[in-house]
Chains A and B, each alone.
Chain A
Amino acid sequence: MFKHLFKLIWNKKKQNFLLITEMLVSFLVLFAVFTLLMFYYNNYKKPMGFKYQDVWVINYDNSYQTKNVDSLNLYYETLRKTIKSLPHVKDITFVSGNIPFSSRTNQSGLTFKGKHVEHLNNFTVEDYYEKVMNVTLLEGRWFNKEDVVSKNKHIVIDSDLKEATFGNEPAVGKLLGNYDDKEKYKIVGVIQTIKRNGDYLDPGPGMYFRTDTGSFRWLDKILVKVDDGADAAFEGKLYKTMANNMKNANVEIEHLSNKLTNANYFALVPMIILAIVSTFLVINVALGLFGVLWYNINRRRSEIGLRRAIGATGKSVSAQLVSESMILATLALIVGTFFAVQFPILNVFDLPAIVYIEGMLVSILFVYLLVLICSLYPGKQAAAIYPAVALHEE
């Protein structure tokens, strides 16, 4: 029967061409939508890598300028003590501007086994960063005073960078070269990658450098870990403290949880727009398919009547029409899959291959489901055709 149906479809290839094209276009649009969805979902599944809920960010422009490093350090250490002495403050840390959920980035590259690893996020952090952010340590240790003096600069890397360089092997104690491979960094710890771009976007691999004595010149953010009692009144108090200590500086306080909401919103907007467009397209395709299949049944009443007369049951007529639609969908999907597999093969958009494959599989299932739903009712209508009537209509 399958061969018979295939022959019937092949002999009507001109009539079926538009229908196959419609299914193909739907598949390609759905592939784009589902690939993006899978990308978001895979990122969403990953752990956040730190606890952001009770962390506030103080943004300040660097007002205290002196060439004397000791004075500089004294100024900021005093500020640290002042803030830490406030009620509801558990811990604080000074950091570089590229904190989680901000749009700022600081990237460089590394050399590993003679090959460049590019687009690595660099973070400059203090020893307190671990406690404030509650990062998940996977291997080795976080920075401490032992890292002040060392033959090779000590770094902590995240799990994405570890996977990209060492795979499943331990990374602690191993060396990575800087981009020119002139300087070597020694890995002292591996932490869970922090989802710095929010729940849905890929953070990319990152490495952490310890602040040194001159870092306060350019650090412009403080992360504050607060307790449950920290409220708006406390936020006002914190602001006043900062303003009093940093005359003429612009100070702004944000909550990481709010920043995460904003980051997620900006990630989801294009997804939502694409989903709305594709929903309309899918509805259009569904109505088109439904209409074409219904029209086909009316055009083929004589054939359906004949098949009933020579031995087909109502169910088998219905199954035949549904099967024909599914074969057409299969032809469209074969062509569509050929185009879709080019994306992981050519590494378009630099997404992991698994994301494309998942997107492809879900799109294939969706197209089959759509075609099945759209052909079930026309198929049922076909089964209800009265052969005695259909055979006398011509």
Chain B
Amino acid sequence: MIRLQNIEKVYRTDTIETLALNSVSLDIAKGEFLSIMGPSGCGKSTLLNIMGLLDAPSKGEIRIDDQKTGGMNDKQLAQFRNKKLGFIFQSYHLINDLQVLDNVELPLLYRDTTAKQRRELAAEALAKVGLANRLKHFPTQLSGGQRQRVAIARAIVGKPEIILADEPTGNLDSAMGNEIMEILLNLNRNDGTTIVMVTHDENMAHKTHRLVRLFDGAQVQ
């Protein structure tokens, strides 16, 4: 589903050159739940950003669903992200000025859908994460766990094949973290969604199919 070949990422300033990823190659199968672990600054998020086409590698090739992504322009990348990928972030990134339902609808705004379709799909996604009764709430009226569930609903509303989660339980206590993990596992099990999750939590990582460890930008496991 996702193939990374010899990915390198170098950050350059006027005086310093930092190698964030060093020749990382990875094959992620369709329906796999993979976790990425490593110490802070080892390149986990950079790798996730590159998989999510939010950042371009300095070297190497990325294929998603057998499609080369290297030559895509801004519009093609945006469409690709919109249709194939769902994102979950540690700090949720919900828009506080929009109600829960409107937040979940957001990815569908960049598709050719009617308002009615968007409403229905968003309500369905929220029901899936157990927030059917919170549609008209604002994010600030929800707990951290509920906010992350809204973020998951937003990630799945467009029925993407891949979900990229960057420390989705990082801001939550263990009980809420487990709830979120359970939702992700269900999505993987029931819908066959491919999930790549960056985490610091060994327990969470061991619940996934495969664990990849990074150290100083290189894959060590």
| Chain A interface residues (CB < 8 Å from chain B) | 1, 3-4, 7-8, 11-12, 302-303, 305-316, 386-388, 391-392, 394
User: Which residues on the B side are within 8 Å of A316 (C-beta)?
Assistant: 78, 110
Instruction: Give 22 CB contacts A-B under 8 Å.
Output: A3-B115, A4-B105, A8-B95, A305-B93, A306-B93, A306-B95, A307-B106, A308-B54, A309-B87, A310-B81, A310-B106, A310-B154, A311-B78, A311-B107, A311-B111, A315-B74, A386-B55, A388-B46, A388-B54, A391-B89, A391-B93, A392-B45
- Whole-angstrom distance between the alpha carbons of A148 and B194 in the complex? 107
Are B98 and A7 closer than 8 Å at their CB atoms? Answer: yes
Contacts A7-B102, A12-B97 given; does A313 touch B74 at CB 8 Å: yes
A311-B82, A315-B75 are known; give 16 further A-B pairs, CB within 8 A: A1-B109, A4-B102, A4-B105, A4-B109, A8-B95, A8-B97, A11-B97, A11-B98, A303-B95, A306-B106, A310-B82, A311-B81, A311-B111, A312-B78, A313-B78, A388-B55
- Whole-angstrom distance between the alpha carbons of A308 and B89 in the complex? 14
Partner of B54, one of A8, A11, A313, A391: A391
- Whole-angstrom distance between the alpha carbons of A180 and B123 in the complex? 79
- Whole-angstrom distance between the alpha carbons of A313 and B89 in the complex? 20
Of A302, A316, A386, A388, chain B has the most CB atoms within 10 Å of the CB of A388
Contacts A306-B93, A391-B93 given; does A311 touch B102 at CB 8 Å: no
User: Which residues on the B side are within 8 Å of A302 (C-beta)?
Assistant: 91, 93
Which of under 10, 10 to 19, 20 to 34, or 35 or more describes the interface residues of B?
20 to 34
- Whole-angstrom distance between the alpha carbons of A179 and B46 in the complex? 90
- Whole-angstrom distance between the alpha carbons of A3 and B107 in the complex? 15
Q: Is the interface of A mostly helix, strand, loop or mixed?
A: helix
Are B54 and A387 closer than 8 Å at their CB atoms? Answer: yes
Partner of B75, one of A305, A306, A313: A313
User: Which residues on the B side are within 8 Å of A12 (C-beta)?
Assistant: 97
B79 at the interface (CB under 8 A from A): yes
- Whole-angstrom distance between the alpha carbons of A153 and B201 in the complex? 107
* Top 5 closest pairs, chain A to chain B, by CB: A311-B82, A311-B110, A388-B49, A388-B55, A310-B107
User: Which residues on the A side are within 8 Å of B115 (C-beta)?
Assistant: 3
Contacts A387-B54, A391-B89, A394-B91 given; does A311 touch B79 at CB 8 Å: yes
B145 at the interface (CB under 8 A from A): no
Q: Which residue of A lies closest to B110 (CB)?
A: A311
Partner of B81, one of A309, A315, A391: A309
Chain A: minimal CB distance from B114 (Å): 11
- Whole-angstrom distance between the alpha carbons of A7 and B100 in the complex? 13
Q: Which residue of A lies closest to B54 (CB)?
A: A388
Q: Which residue of A lies closest to B45 (CB)?
A: A392
B52 at the interface (CB under 8 A from A): yes
- Whole-angstrom distance between the alpha carbons of A386 and B111 in the complex? 22
Contact residues, B56-86 vs A (CB, 8 A): 74-75, 78-79, 81-83
User: Which residues on the A side are within 8 Å of B110 (C-beta)?
Assistant: 310-312, 316
Chain A: minimal CB distance from B6 (Å): 20
A-facing mask of B36-47, CB < 8 A → 1, else 0? Answer: 000000000110
Chain B: minimal CB distance from A87 (Å): 82
Chain A: minimal CB distance from B68 (Å): 20
Chain B: minimal CB distance from A307 (Å): 7
- Whole-angstrom distance between the alpha carbons of A251 and B82 in the complex? 88
Chain A: minimal CB distance from B97 (Å): 4
User: Which residues on the A side are within 8 Å of B154 (C-beta)?
Assistant: 310
Chain B: minimal CB distance from A281 (Å): 30
- Whole-angstrom distance between the alpha carbons of A314 and B74 in the complex? 7
User: Which residues on the A side are within 8 Å of B97 (C-beta)?
Assistant: 8, 11-12
Chain A: minimal CB distance from B55 (Å): 4
